[in-house]
Structure formats: C-alpha cells, structure tokens
Chain A
C-alpha cells in the first residue's frame, strides 16, 4: 500500500530515487545519542529539484562534505610552490592562489606602483617564469586550481595554460576556477584595469575560449563577497551579484554561446556574515532566483545550467581588532550559516585578520572551526535542516522580494537589459553609492549605540590585553622578485616579445576576433603581465573611478 504521506508530497519518490543513485559517506547518519535521521525533512521541492531552494544536490553533505578551501599565498612563486606541494602531500587536491596587489592590478614588480606591495598579500607573478616556478613538480592534470584574479585574468589564465603545455598537458585536461568577475570590481573591490565594456569583451572571449578548449574550467566566479565587505546589505549583495551573473549570461548569449553549455560552468561566491538567519535566507534565495531566471528568462533547459553553485567565505569585515580571540566564535557562527545555507565550499577567516595577514596558528584554528561544524555538529546529516521553518521561509521570500526590486531598477536603467542596466549603474555611481550609504548607515547606528559589537561598542573589559602573535612579512621578497624579473628580461628574445605584444594590440582592436590566442603567444615569449596589459590598454584605455563620497 502506498504511503499517503508520500503521495501528498510530490517529488518525494523522485528525490528518493536520486538519493539511491548518489554515493554516501561512511558515517552514521544519526544524532550523537544514536537517533537515526533522514536525509531531508519537510516538503518539496526537495534538494536537487528545481528551483533548488533546498540545495543543488539530493543528498547534499551525506554524499560529500563541502570543500574546505583555504585561500593563501605569499612571497615569491617558489615560496608558494612549497606550500602547494605540502597541501598535495597532505592529501589535498585543490590549490587556491592569492596574488599580490601589483599582479592583481596588472603591474610588474619593478613598476613604481609596486613599491612596498611585492609579495605581501599574495604571490608575485610577472612572467611565465614565475608561473612555471609556482606550479613546478605539480601534475596539473590531477589538481583543481583556483586563481583569484580579475583585471589581468586573461593573462594569468594564458600563463597557466602555457605552463601545462610545457609539461605536455593539454588545456582540456585542466580543471579549476578563475574569479574573473570584473563587474564587481567597479562596484566594490576596485581592482579593474580597463573600462567596463572592453573588460566585458575580454571576459566573453575567455568564456568562448574555455568553452571550446577547456571544458573542465570555470571561467567566471561571480562574487558578492567583496560587495558585502565594501558595506552592502545582505539583499544588495544578493541582488548585485545575481545581476552581474545575468549580465555575463546576456553577454555570452549575445556572442552566440549556448546557455546550456557555459551556464554549467558559472559559479558564485558569497559572504557569510553574522546575522545568522538573514544569511541562510540569502543563500536559499540565491539558488531559487538564479534557477528561475536561467530557465524562464534565458531559456536554459539543462538543469545543471540552472543551478547556483557557490563558494562561501566568512565575513572579514565582521572581525574585531579588539579581543581578537572572540572572532573564533563569530567565524564558527558564520561557518554554520554557510553549511545550513548549502554551500559547496567554504573558507573560514582567521581571528587575527583585523590586525594583519593570518598567522599560521590562526589559519589552522580557522580550518579547525569548519571541521568542527562539519564533523561534530551533525549539521551535515540533513539537507536544508531549517527549510520549512516559518521564519527562515519568510526570510528567504523577503530576500527574494528585495532582490527583485533591485532587478526591476536595473532593467529600467538598461531598457529591459540587465547587462546595460549594470553598465549604467556603474557609470552613474548607483552601485558605489548604494554600498557607501549602507556602510555609513551601519556605522551611524553603531556610533549611536543602537547596535553592539562585542569588544568595540560594548563589553570592552579585556581590550588592553594584547598577546596575539602576528604574521610579519619581511621586505626581502621584493628584492628577490626584482632580481628574478631582471634575469628573465635579460634572457628573453626582445624581438619576439615586441612582435607578440603588437599582435596583442591588433587582437584587441579586432572586435570580431578573440584576444586569447595573441595573449598566449605573448606569455610564451615571456612578456610581462604589465607589458601585455599595456598592449591592450592602447586600444581599451584605462578606467579611472570618479571619487565620490
């Protein structure tokens, strides 16, 4: 006899079948007291079913825990290579690369802009030689590499491909992600080089290139993290991020790409802040909105092209310099929200980040914090454990409503095109203005005593004690790197470099072509990041933000 409860819950049978086809981890799915628990509770649509509010996979963390992806990088390429190989020896399969500020801005280490910043907040990469050292003795066909870079992303991706080639590995064997989300740079992180439209053209070229040559690569990671850190509200983070995603989709469709193909390769990156239920509602709403827009507005028919896959990082901006150990508690709560929100991977911040770059001990505690959430709390046993709770469902709906109101505004700005609306919003200061207003509103509420941050606006006893050991980065890196760059420049064939750079300029000027092949040729000739960037700047110009307070 059929179970009447099951019949009243459409999709349950389909969900059960999907679960049977999924692998499960070899751990007991029961509480610590031995009470067995099911994979999901409540009503459908179930996890793994459109619109994926409850998660993109039917079994979620029962099959596989989220990836604990800790972002790090420092010093020269050789230093970071040592760290990478240690990660791989310890069983890791994912590498995450942080570049230093000059590299992120497309400047070489010997540029006057680079003074004091070489190798400080990440690894310095000037030429292919640095990339060869960075990935020396690592089998690139066997790792997944995440590269956090935006402005000069095309150049760094080309370098990665060129390193692989030298080791006999073809681009189609490479798997990984490059952040490459230029739109949020104009809105929040401010690491742009060219104006928005030429930047969008480069990204579209990269989407085309990776779709045909690197099918295992994620060409854009659409990032709300920096928008939130810059001061936005949760709803603004949600709406601006998804709108940027829609903009990339519209640009790729306009360039003739198939939404069902590149749609599967898009991924997202969200912030997990301290307001627990708001964050969970935001993450659930993100999946629902993305699925609906991809299906209804952009015509996706492949379910995987409708799924909002995302990485999450805890909120750096929520960390206090006062009584820094209290940050461990903040990070734990934010990590729990990310897990309940159904993230695919997670970076947990170190408690000393309001004071300096993370020390080794602080970074280890941060990793331990998410391991506690994953292995001790039982949160990984049940998909979407808060789904169906009236407050959480209301919050999810409310986040969606607020995001939709922002999409309406952008559609109005862009005459029914989100892409044009986003360009216009960048141009007229809408995004930076909204973000700055939200940041200032929060600051005023803190100063008026309407909000409390422990250790900052209240409960300050103990603030004087300061026994945290901070990471110090010595200035030797800069000298080392300058020498390495000088050596490469003295050994390369200048004529070949010049020809390759001229070709990059021509490729940039030819709007019907793709810039990637010319950039690849230039990196193989050991042209520097800045030289290649400048070769494109001749055509694209450089973006200067209007200074608005």
Chain B
C-alpha cells in the first residue's frame, strides 16, 4: 500500500507578519510531495485547530520571528490537546537554542532554526509525523 501523503497545516500565529520563511518552507514541502495547507497571516490557536480538524492534517507548522514563541507555541500545543488532537507542532524562525528545551517540555515536536536546509526541513516534518504515528499506534 502506498504511503499516505503527509498533510501539513502551515500558519502564522498571532500578529507577526514575517512570512518569507514560511512561504519558502511551504514550497519546499510541496516539492517534497507533501500536501501543504497554508492558512496565512494573523491566525489564532482556535482557527488553526479548526483547520487542522477540517483538513485532517498530520502536522502543524508555525513560524515565529517576534520573540513570542515561548508564549504562543505552548498555547498552540495545549489547544490541540484540549481538542483531543494528537498532531505534532513544529516551530521555525528566530528561536534561540536556549529555548529549545523549554519548547520541547511544552510539547513542541521539533524546532527548525535559521539556515536549516531543504533536506532538514523535509526530514524534520517526516520524523515528527512518523513518531506521532508510532505513538498513536
């Protein structure tokens, strides 16, 4: 049986308008054969949960450049949990290394820092989705 195509929601959560990175990532993932649903700017945790449900997505990718990641990323993870959805959250953008532990503890599946190659981006998403499937099995 053919492997199911990974469906990923990409979104900018909150007010941050830096969308260069997430648009490049969207194209990288699409070129790698994934189905990318880009929600665009100014999304809320509620709008992302709703879209994830509706699209039956396997992962949520957020991009953050305004130093709000320690507040917003855990809030996203919690909202998905509250909705009983076992979907990994991957965060990219300007994320200092020292924050990685705190994000991991809050349940963020992976962090993609500046300069991540296309291959790293694709593998990180695949790994996050596969580990989640192993857990859910």
Q: Return chain A residues, CB-CB under 8 Å to B71.
A: 115-116, 475
Q: How far is the CA of A508 from the CA of B52 in the complex (A)?
A: 39
A545 touches B40 (CB 8 A): yes
Q: Which of A113, A120, A190, A191 has the most CB of B within 10 A?
A: A190
In the complex, whether B83 has a CB less than 8 A from a CB of chain A is no
B99 to chain A, nearest CB (A): 9
Given A117-B66, A229-B20, A549-B26, A321:B98 Cβ within 8 A: no
A190 touches B19 (CB 8 A): yes
Q: Return chain A residues, CB-CB under 8 Å to B17.
A: 189-191
Which B residues between 105 and 121 are near A, CB-CB below 8 angstroms? Answer: 113-115, 117-119
In the complex, whether B67 has a CB less than 8 A from a CB of chain A is yes
Please pick, from B15, B24, B67, the residue contacting A357 in the complex, using a CB distance under 8 A: B67
Q: Which of A320, A356, A436, A549 has the most CB of B within 10 A?
A: A549
Q: How far is the CA of A100 from the CA of B19 in the complex (A)?
A: 18
A318-349 vs B, CB cutoff 8 Å, 1 = contact: the mask equals 00111000000000000000000000000000
A435-478 vs B, CB cutoff 8 Å, 1 = contact: the mask equals 11001100110110000010111000000001000100101000
Q: How far is the CA of A475 from the CA of B17 in the complex (A)?
A: 21
**Size class of the contact patch on chain B:** 35 or more
Q: Return chain B residues, CB-CB under 8 Å to A453.
A: 115
Stretch of A101-109, A133-141, A174-182, A420-428 at the chain-chain interface: A101-109
A549 touches B23 (CB 8 A): yes
In the complex, whether A317 has a CB less than 8 A from a CB of chain B is yes
Q: Return chain B residues, CB-CB under 8 Å to A549.
A: 23, 26-27, 30, 36, 38
A117 touches B27 (CB 8 A): no
A355 touches B15 (CB 8 A): no
A190-229 vs B, CB cutoff 8 Å, 1 = contact: the mask equals 1100000000000000000000000000000000000001
Q: Return chain A residues, CB-CB under 8 Å to B39.
A: 547
In the complex, whether A386 has a CB less than 8 A from a CB of chain B is no
Given A117-B15, A120-B66, A317:B94 Cβ within 8 A: no
In the complex, whether B85 has a CB less than 8 A from a CB of chain A is no
B117 touches A355 (CB 8 A): no
A189 to chain B, nearest CB (A): 6
B17-33 vs A, CB cutoff 8 Å, 1 = contact: the mask equals 10110011011101000
Chain A residue at minimal CB-CB distance from B120: A447
In the complex, whether A18 has a CB less than 8 A from a CB of chain B is no
Q: Return chain B residues, CB-CB under 8 Å to A446.
A: 117
Q: Return chain B residues, CB-CB under 8 Å to A104.
A: 15
In the complex, whether A230 has a CB less than 8 A from a CB of chain B is yes
B68 touches A436 (CB 8 A): no
A231 touches B20 (CB 8 A): yes
Q: How far is the CA of A113 from the CA of B17 in the complex (A)?
A: 13
In the complex, whether B41 has a CB less than 8 A from a CB of chain A is yes
Given A121-B66, A547-B38, A115:B72 Cβ within 8 A: yes
Q: How far is the CA of A453 from the CA of B116 in the complex (A)?
A: 12
Q: How far is the CA of A224 from the CA of B17 in the complex (A)?
A: 16
In the complex, whether B54 has a CB less than 8 A from a CB of chain A is no
B94 touches A356 (CB 8 A): yes
Q: Return chain A residues, CB-CB under 8 Å to B36.
A: 549
In the complex, whether A354 has a CB less than 8 A from a CB of chain B is yes
In the complex, whether A546 has a CB less than 8 A from a CB of chain B is yes
Q: Return chain A residues, CB-CB under 8 Å to B42.
A: 113, 544
B38-51 vs A, CB cutoff 8 Å, 1 = contact: the mask equals 11111010000000
Given A115-B72, A549-B36, A354:B24 Cβ within 8 A: no
Given A116-B68, A230-B20, A466-B97, A546:B14 Cβ within 8 A: no
Q: Which of A229, A356, A446 has the most CB of B within 10 A?
A: A356
Please pick, from B24, B40, B94, the residue contacting A355 in the complex, using a CB distance under 8 A: B94
Q: How far is the CA of A549 from the CA of B36 in the complex (A)?
A: 9
Chain A residue at minimal CB-CB distance from B23: A436
Q: How far is the CA of A435 from the CA of B27 in the complex (A)?
A: 14
A440 touches B27 (CB 8 A): yes
Which A residues between 42 and 91 are near B, CB-CB below 8 angstroms? Answer: none
Q: How far is the CA of A446 from the CA of B114 in the complex (A)?
A: 13
Q: Return chain A residues, CB-CB under 8 Å to B44.
A: 112
Please pick, from A101, A190, A354, the residue contacting B94 in the complex, using a CB distance under 8 A: A354
Q: How far is the CA of A322 from the CA of B114 in the complex (A)?
A: 8
Q: How far is the CA of A91 from the CA of B71 in the complex (A)?
A: 39
Q: How far is the CA of A152 from the CA of B44 in the complex (A)?
A: 22
Q: Return chain B residues, CB-CB under 8 Å to A357.
A: 67
Q: Return chain B residues, CB-CB under 8 Å to A354.
A: 94, 114-115
A545 touches B27 (CB 8 A): no
Q: Return chain A residues, CB-CB under 8 Å to B15.
A: 101-102, 104-105, 107, 113-114, 117
Q: How far is the CA of A257 from the CA of B65 in the complex (A)?
A: 40
The 7 closest A-B pairs by CB, nearest first: A547-B40, A116-B71, A190-B17, A116-B68, A321-B114, A549-B26, A456-B115
* 13 sampled A-B residue pairs with Cβ under 8 A: A107-B15, A113-B15, A113-B42, A115-B75, A116-B70, A116-B71, A121-B66, A231-B20, A322-B115, A356-B67, A444-B118, A447-B118, A453-B115
Q: Taking beta carbons and an 8 Å cutoff, which residues of B are in contact with A? A: 14-17, 19-20, 23-24, 26-28, 30, 36, 38-42, 44, 66-68, 70-72, 75, 94, 96-98, 113-115, 117-119
Additional A-B contacts beyond A102-B15, A354-B115 (16; CB < 8 A): A101-B15, A117-B66, A120-B68, A189-B17, A321-B115, A355-B97, A436-B24, A436-B27, A439-B20, A447-B119, A466-B97, A470-B96, A473-B67, A547-B40, A549-B23, A549-B38
